[in-house]
Chain A
Amino acid sequence: MRGYLLDISPSGRDEVILWVKRLDGRVVSHQVKWMPRIYVHGFLESLVKLGRLLSQRYFVDFVERSVKPGSPPETVLEIRVPFGSKKRVANLILDLGNHQLFKVYNVDLPSMQEFLYQHELHPTALIDLSNDGFKVLDSIEDLDYDLSWVRAAHLDAKVEASSIAPRFSDRLREVIIEMDGERIVLDGAEDGILQDLTKTLDDLDIDVIITDGGDSFLLPYLHYRAHVNCVRLRLGRSRDPRMFKPSPSTYFSYGKVYCRFRGFKLKGRIHIDSSNSMLYGETGLDGLIEVSRVARIPIQDAARYTIGSCMSSLQYYQAYRLGILIPWKPSKTIYMDCWSLNRADRGGLILDAKTGVYWNVAELDFKSLYPTLMLKHNISGETVNCECCKDEGERIPELGYHVCKRWRGIVPRAIELPLRKRMRYKELIKEARDGRLRTLYRSRSDALKWILVTAFGYLGYRNAKFGSREAHLAVCALAREMLLKAIRIAEENGFEVIHGIVDSLWVRREDADDQDYLELAKKIEDEVSLPISYEGRYKWIVFLPSRTHPDRPANNRYFGVFMDGRLKYRGIEARRRDAPPIVRKMQLEILEKLAEARDPEQLREKAIEAIEIYRGYVRRLILGDVSIEDLAITQVLSMDPDDYVVEVRQAVAAKYLERARVRVVPGQAITYVIAGASGLSKAIPIQLVKEGSYRLEPYLRILERAAYTIITPILGSFKTIFSIAL
């Protein structure tokens, strides 16, 4: 019997259930006897004693595994443990060995992933089920795999809310299921709705339920209502997990605070909470499935993981396949003196932009520069400054590190597939005639991009299993070297380099056309042997100065228009999340006006016309001809509202929400409207604000600033609302 693997879930102590959608559309479950494993390394004598002790309760075995990448296999103790008890058993073993005798491995490798690795399986795989097991018929390398069988639906509910934030005690009014553009509304008595819900999901044979806030509210709420009404609710294809109170956890990453909810995972049906899934939010279901396939992670887990965890799974798989054990605690700290840190700890090269308006500029980008360098130069935690190739290994420029010649690192092995697949998807995007196909490939390629981006960041992460600081620094050094080479080549060929950031270059020659720039790209590509993409030729581009030092450039703040009319802008208000939509609309309208210009003379004329656009917006703001949504500012709360020393607007809005008995946690995005100069009305949450109640002055300032950003580099200063009478 053939079918697609929809999901897997553990069952009891030693069983895994495979949920398979047969080719005829029926979903069947298939049990496989299997248990997760952990490994212990230590002196053989102690291992034998430990094995004897543990064999009374667990199934133990002696096997050969490498404890470090590249090292020869050694005898280790394998212990099969029931689901969910890996950490408990591992801690017990460490205690038995007085935290000295034993080292434990594969402890934080999630069991379901381990199952997939061991059976060379992946979610949505086409498999052949028989009495004596199953066979995988497709591969994660495939670019065109069939997903037409996936039946996805959006689930939402309306609550008779007593305040702005619905609560568990509020009654359920209706449930809405949307599928393929059709809308099914279940209403009436509460118990009836809940009973119908289980039946409708089964009748429609839904495989994927997508919710907005399912983890944080909706699913626990529906179960609570079922409990109150004495109705048995089932959203999955088998009994749902026990109800729990949604609890947010806050974490910090790259200078930003995020908040995440514990997942409400179903059995036999996939639940994705779009507001609790970064991957789904960025790339949709197609991107999510691509990542779960490539990284071999059950879809419901992949949806809730950080990208870093998804990427780690690729490395774990490589290690697993090669018989290398994954250490529980990261390897020991490596010390570096201040002097060498100062020398080595530098990011990519930044060549300051020369501020001003430029015509006929080309942008050249290295394609996935960091991952490509990692792959090409075999950069991995264990290969940089390895012990075996001190004299003969490849040298890293500037730093003098060496790279192993004998062993191919886990990291390059892991990123090879996503890198190759992404390049192929990019080609397919270009070839595709059908718009739908193009979007599909784009989501998949974007999802893989995320994986590749984190592959580099994780190299230097302290909890990364196969990374090291030196490896991280080596990639940066190589990248600087490549950009410097590219700059030199451009100059030698008569181009002026205007700006360069890490992996992109902006070059110019007055008489150059697309052909010349393409030739330059080809030349660089040949000489540094790294793939380069020609982003396109800007009709004109403006590099903006810093606000605090007008004579210095602000890197990564620019806007321009390509020859084909496409706009590209970075770092200006229109790209910022904390700018109200009205600003985005105005800046885009102005940019579109400016894009019409064909020469410097026309650009000035268009800029003068653009002032009128700005004035139009000012007029609308003053006359109250704007919707409140257009004025909403969204900011992320970085700490508890009470911990703010300065009364910043997002904290005020958060306090407002708290008064309305809405729970606010750090990492949560708060949307508010400025309605007063001080006090609580300084920022009113969008849910509570009345139409038309906003404070004019701050919005006029925001508009003025946004208009200034775009118009002044072209025209010099101009009269704004604060200096003219309307």
Chain B
Amino acid sequence: MGRNALTYRQRLQLELDKWRNFRKALLRDEREAFDSLTDHVFRLCHAGSMYPERDTFDLLTMSALISHEGRLRSLEKELKVGMKIDERLPIRHKPIW
């Protein structure tokens, strides 16, 4: 059986293509940030492909957030600190749900 539905990877590429004009208006360093963020989003394709019912942009945003969280965590580890918000709420490393 040949494939009929688009893969998540293809959907993601289509979504990013829609942002072409947006990207064009970004300044160089902003554009670099945009590109590196999309590369990070592509890293999480395996997870995105497991939730095909969801809108592509939702998956893209969630993947971007996770990549940020991951990089924050590695920074924390590097700096040997646990960041807190308002000195009250510690960031939990285990999901609360």
B4 within 8 A of A: yes
Chain B: how many interface residues by the 8 Å CB criterion?
17
Give A460's nearest chain B residue, CB to CB.
B1
Could you tell me which residues of chain B, from 31 to 57, have a CB within 8 Å of some CB in chain A? 35-36, 39, 42-43, 45-46, 49-50, 52-53
Taking A352-B43, A457-B1, A462-B1 as known contacts, 16 extra A-B pairs with beta carbons closer than 8 A to each other, sorted by chain A number, are A342-B53, A343-B52, A345-B3, A345-B5, A346-B5, A346-B7, A347-B7, A349-B49, A459-B1, A460-B1, A461-B1, A480-B50, A549-B39, A551-B36, A552-B39, A552-B42
Q: Give 20 pairs: A residue, B residue, CB < 8 Å, sorted on A.
A: A339-B53, A342-B5, A342-B52, A343-B52, A343-B53, A345-B3, A345-B4, A346-B5, A347-B3, A347-B7, A349-B49, A350-B49, A352-B45, A457-B1, A459-B1, A461-B1, A480-B50, A551-B36, A552-B39, A552-B42
Whether the Cβ atoms of A346 and B49 lie closer than 8 Å is: yes
Across the interface, which residues of A come within 8 angstroms of B53, CB to CB?
339, 342-343
- With A342-B52, A549-B39, A552-B39 known as contacts, the answer to whether A350 contacts B1 (CB < 8 A) is no
Whether the Cβ atoms of B1 and A469 lie closer than 8 Å is: yes
- Return the contact of B5 from the options A341, A349, A351 (Cβ within 8 A): A341
Identify the 4 closest CB pairs spanning chains A and B, nearest first.
Answer: A460-B1, A345-B5, A551-B39, A351-B46
Across the interface, which residues of A come within 8 angstroms of B49, CB to CB?
346, 349-350
Quote the shortest CB–CB distance from B6 to chain A (angstroms): 8
Q: Which of A347, A352, A457, A484 has the most CB of B within 10 A?
A: A352
Q: How far is the CA of A460 from the CA of B42 in the complex (A)?
A: 29
Across the interface, which residues of B come within 8 angstroms of A459, CB to CB?
1
Q: How far is the CA of A480 from the CA of B49 in the complex (A)?
A: 10
Q: How far is the CA of A469 from the CA of B4 in the complex (A)?
A: 11
Across the interface, which residues of A come within 8 angstroms of B4, CB to CB?
341, 345
Could you tell me which residues of chain A, from 340 to 368, have a CB within 8 Å of some CB in chain B? 341-343, 345-347, 349-352
Q: How far is the CA of A348 from the CA of B3 in the complex (A)?
A: 12
Quote the shortest CB–CB distance from B14 to chain A (angstroms): 13
Q: Which of A339, A343, A346, A500 has the most CB of B within 10 A?
A: A346
Quote the shortest CB–CB distance from A683 to chain B (angstroms): 31
Q: How far is the CA of A398 from the CA of B50 in the complex (A)?
A: 9
Give B1-39 as 1s and 0s: 1 = Cβ < 8 Å from A's Cβ atoms. 101110110000000000000000000000000011001
Give A341's nearest chain B residue, CB to CB.
B5
Quote the shortest CB–CB distance from B54 to chain A (angstroms): 10
Q: How far is the CA of A457 from the CA of B53 in the complex (A)?
A: 25
Q: How far is the CA of A350 from the CA of B7 in the complex (A)?
A: 11
A472 within 8 A of B: yes
Whether the Cβ atoms of A350 and B45 lie closer than 8 Å is: yes
Give A500's nearest chain B residue, CB to CB.
B46
Q: How far is the CA of A398 from the CA of B52 in the complex (A)?
A: 11
Across the interface, which residues of B come within 8 angstroms of A339, CB to CB?
53
Across the interface, which residues of A come within 8 angstroms of B8, CB to CB?
346
Quote the shortest CB–CB distance from A548 to chain B (angstroms): 11
Across the interface, which residues of B come within 8 angstroms of A341, CB to CB?
4-5
Across the interface, which residues of B come within 8 angstroms of A484, CB to CB?
50
Give A254's nearest chain B residue, CB to CB.
B2
Across the interface, which residues of B come within 8 angstroms of A349, CB to CB?
46, 49-50
Quote the shortest CB–CB distance from B43 to chain A (angstroms): 6
Give A349's nearest chain B residue, CB to CB.
B46
Across the interface, which residues of B come within 8 angstroms of A398, CB to CB?
50
Give A550's nearest chain B residue, CB to CB.
B39
Q: How far is the CA of A480 from the CA of B46 in the complex (A)?
A: 10
Across the interface, which residues of B come within 8 angstroms of A472, CB to CB?
1
Give B45's nearest chain A residue, CB to CB.
A352
Could you tell me which residues of chain A, from 315 to 352, have a CB within 8 Å of some CB in chain B? 339, 341-343, 345-347, 349-352
Q: How far is the CA of A472 from the CA of B53 in the complex (A)?
A: 20
Could you tell me which residues of chain A, from 517 to 556, have a CB within 8 Å of some CB in chain B? 549, 551-552
Quote the shortest CB–CB distance from B59 to chain A (angstroms): 13
Give A354's nearest chain B residue, CB to CB.
B43
Across the interface, which residues of B come within 8 angstroms of A342, CB to CB?
5, 52-53
Across the interface, which residues of A come within 8 angstroms of B7, CB to CB?
346-347
Give A461-493 as 1s and 0s: 1 = Cβ < 8 Å from B's Cβ atoms. 110000001001000000010001000000000
Quote the shortest CB–CB distance from A253 to chain B (angstroms): 10
Q: How far is the CA of A345 from the CA of B4 in the complex (A)?
A: 7
Quote the shortest CB–CB distance from B19 to chain A (angstroms): 16
Q: How far is the CA of A549 from the CA of B16 in the complex (A)?
A: 14
Across the interface, which residues of A come within 8 angstroms of B1, CB to CB?
457, 459-462, 469, 472
Quote the shortest CB–CB distance from A351 to chain B (angstroms): 5
Q: How far is the CA of A459 from the CA of B52 in the complex (A)?
A: 23
Q: How far is the CA of A69 from the CA of B21 in the complex (A)?
A: 56
Q: How far is the CA of A125 from the CA of B53 in the complex (A)?
A: 54
Q: How far is the CA of A274 from the CA of B11 in the complex (A)?
A: 43
Quote the shortest CB–CB distance from A459 to chain B (angstroms): 7
Across the interface, which residues of B come within 8 angstroms of A350, CB to CB?
45-46, 49
Q: How far is the CA of A426 from the CA of B43 in the complex (A)?
A: 36
Across the interface, which residues of B come within 8 angstroms of A346, CB to CB?
5, 7-8, 49, 52
Across the interface, which residues of A come within 8 angstroms of B36, CB to CB?
551
Q: How far is the CA of A11 from the CA of B57 in the complex (A)?
A: 67
Whether the Cβ atoms of B5 and A352 lie closer than 8 Å is: no
Give B52-88 as 1s and 0s: 1 = Cβ < 8 Å from A's Cβ atoms. 1100000000000000000000000000000000000
Quote the shortest CB–CB distance from A399 to chain B (angstroms): 11
Q: How far is the CA of A351 from the CA of B50 in the complex (A)?
A: 11
Q: How far is the CA of A462 from the CA of B36 in the complex (A)?
A: 42
Quote the shortest CB–CB distance from A129 to chain B (angstroms): 45
Give A343's nearest chain B residue, CB to CB.
B52
Q: How far is the CA of A351 from the CA of B8 in the complex (A)?
A: 13
- Return the contact of B42 from the options A347, A351, A352 (Cβ within 8 A): A352
Give A345's nearest chain B residue, CB to CB.
B5
Q: How far is the CA of A630 from the CA of B46 in the complex (A)?
A: 40
Q: How far is the CA of A296 from the CA of B25 in the complex (A)?
A: 66
Quote the shortest CB–CB distance from A336 to chain B (angstroms): 9
- Return the contact of A352 from the options B3, B46, B50 (Cβ within 8 A): B46
Give A549's nearest chain B residue, CB to CB.
B39
Q: How far is the CA of A145 from the CA of B4 in the complex (A)?
A: 44
Across the interface, which residues of B come within 8 angstroms of A460, CB to CB?
1
Q: How far is the CA of A346 from the CA of B52 in the complex (A)?
A: 9
Across the interface, which residues of A come within 8 angstroms of B50, CB to CB?
349, 398, 480, 484
Q: How far is the CA of A349 from the CA of B8 in the complex (A)?
A: 11
Q: How far is the CA of A349 from the CA of B50 in the complex (A)?
A: 8
Quote the shortest CB–CB distance from A400 to chain B (angstroms): 13
Quote the shortest CB–CB distance from A164 to chain B (angstroms): 38
Quote the shortest CB–CB distance from A76 to chain B (angstroms): 30
